Amino acid sequence: MKEAKQANLAKAVFLPKSMKPTRKEVFLSEMEQVVPWRRLEALVEPHYFVIGTKGCRPATPLVTMLRIHSMQQWFGYSDLAMEEALYEVPLLRRFAGLDAFEDTMPDEATILRFRHLLEKHGLAGAMFGKVNELLNEKGLTIRRGTAEDASLIAVPNSTKNAGKKGSQWRFGLKAHIQ
């Protein structure tokens, strides 16, 4: 009987009554499909030092840090706000590949060090180039809004927009423009 009550409590607390996806969930699902995660990993991997010595905090997998960094940029989170969002928002944890019951959540300092690593090696711009190229090929661009309304939009094929396509999404930078 106790197990049934616990299962019902888990459903009530963790599972939504309506299965309608939120805008953020739709957006992250789209980004899951269009961002070349393996290519970005290959770009950053030579510079990503994995801590493996005894007594050190376990290293966060590179793909997890890439996804966290991406969400930070898409939703405008500071390092501290990103850390807190990972604790508070199951959708963001799931996108990052983190399990609140099994994984150690990256803290503000870990997120900051990763951002500095990207900046030090000029990787944010290179990542932006790869992702922007892919999005442009698919006729898409990303528009930054608040944490609730970032969205992926189709870019009209007009001569007016042709010159702007290269700067429509600045991956890894705070200046996102449409």
Q: What's the pLDDT band for 169 if we cut at 50, 70, 90?
A: very low
For range 105-118, the mean pLDDT: 94
Share of the chain above pLDDT 90, in %: 38
Nearest in space to 162 (alpha carbons), one of 136, 124, 143: 136
3-state secondary structure 8-74: HHHHHHHCCCCCCCCHHHHHHHHHHHHCCHHHHHHHHHHHCCCCCCCCCCCCCCHHHHHHHHHHHHH
Q: What is the DSSP letter of 105?
A: P
Per the domain annotation, does 133 fall within a domain?
Answer: yes
Q: Number of structural domains, the chain?
A: 1
What's the domain range around 83? 22-167
Report the pLDDT value the prediction gives residue 137, as an integer from 0 to 100.
Answer: 83
pLDDT tens sequence across 39-49: 899 999 988 86
Instruction: Give the separation between CA 31 and CA 23, rounded to whole angstroms.
Output: 12
Per the domain annotation, does 174 fall within a domain?
Answer: no
Per the domain annotation, does 37 fall within a domain?
Answer: yes
Per the domain annotation, does 127 fall within a domain?
Answer: yes
4 compared with 99, residue with greater pLDDT: 99
Per the domain annotation, does 1 fall within a domain?
Answer: no
Average pLDDT, the chain: 75
Q: What's the pLDDT band for 34 if we cut at 50, 70, 90?
A: confident
pLDDT tens sequence across 112-162: 999 999 999 999 888 877 777 887 887 877 655 444 445 555 556 554 444
Backbone φ and ψ of 170, nearest 5°: -105, 85
Q: What's the pLDDT band for 3 if we cut at 50, 70, 90?
A: very low
Buried b (16+ CB within 10 A) or exposed e, 77-98: bebeebbebbeeeeebbebbeb
Per the domain annotation, does 5 fall within a domain?
Answer: no
Report the pLDDT value the prediction gives residue 145, as an integer from 0 to 100.
Answer: 47
Report the pLDDT value the prediction gives residue 71, as an integer from 0 to 100.
Answer: 94
